[in-house]
Structure formats: C-alpha cells, structure tokens
Structure 1
C-alpha cells in the first residue's frame, strides 16, 4: 500500500479591504488582510471617523427616556 504524499496547498489570496490588491494570507503577511501599514491606517481612520460601522440595535441613551437609575 502506498502512503499518500501531501501536496503543498495553494496559498490563500485575499483582497486588501482598502485598495483591493491581492494579499497572500500567511504568517509573513504582517498587515493581513491589508497589503500595507498605509492601507491598515486608512481603514482605522475610517472606523474612527465613523465612516464605517457594524449595524446593531439603536443606542439607548438618556435622551430616549431610559435610565439605569429607574426603580420599578
């Protein structure tokens, strides 16, 4: 019976979220999924400026009439 020899798998390639350049997903890709520090910082800035957001439940704040101090 012959033993199976594992073939090296093809590298995983992803698109940089900022500039859409192909990026190899491995330990050597320091900024993955980004292609560079520049693209990483551009993305961070977009989140900081609230240009990007994860959809969620509406914010419950005191202006909505909700308070943690309410006694029922």
Structure 2
C-alpha cells in the first residue's frame, strides 16, 4: 500500500521497509511532532477546564 507522507506529501510504502511510516523520514516525523508540541495541531473537543478558577476554589474548602 502507498500512502502520502502527512508532512511533505511524498509517496511512502506502508511496509517494514519504511520504518517512519506514515512519514517518509525522521525529519518529517519530527516536524509533525513539533507542530503538535507547539499546539499548531489539535484534536477538536471540549475545552479543558481542569485548571479553571472554580476547580481551584473548590479545592481550597
């Protein structure tokens, strides 16, 4: 099976011969990781309110 590298869109064979699959290289894999770490990419969902003021006030009682 051939897939596109999510970073550079190069064709990548999905097999043991491609150790960084779905990425074409370690470089593209690290670029993607950096985008997640910088929060340029995110999975949509409900906002995280675990650090909200309400939570902090409830813990202080």
Alignment TM-score, normalising by the size of structure 1: 0.72
Distance 1:13 1:56 in 2: 31
1:69 is the counterpart of 2:59: yes
Number of residue pairs matched by the alignment: 59
Q: Between Structure 1 and Structure 2, whose CA radius of gyration is higher?
A: 1
Distance 1:18 1:66 in 2: 39
Return 5+ residue gaps in structure 2 as ranges.
Answer: none
Q: RMSD between aligned alpha carbons? A: 1.7
1:26 to 7, 15, 20: 15
1:55 is the counterpart of 2:44: yes
Alignment TM-score, normalising by the size of structure 2: 0.83
Q: Report the equivalent of 2:25.
A: 36
Moved over 4 A (4+): none
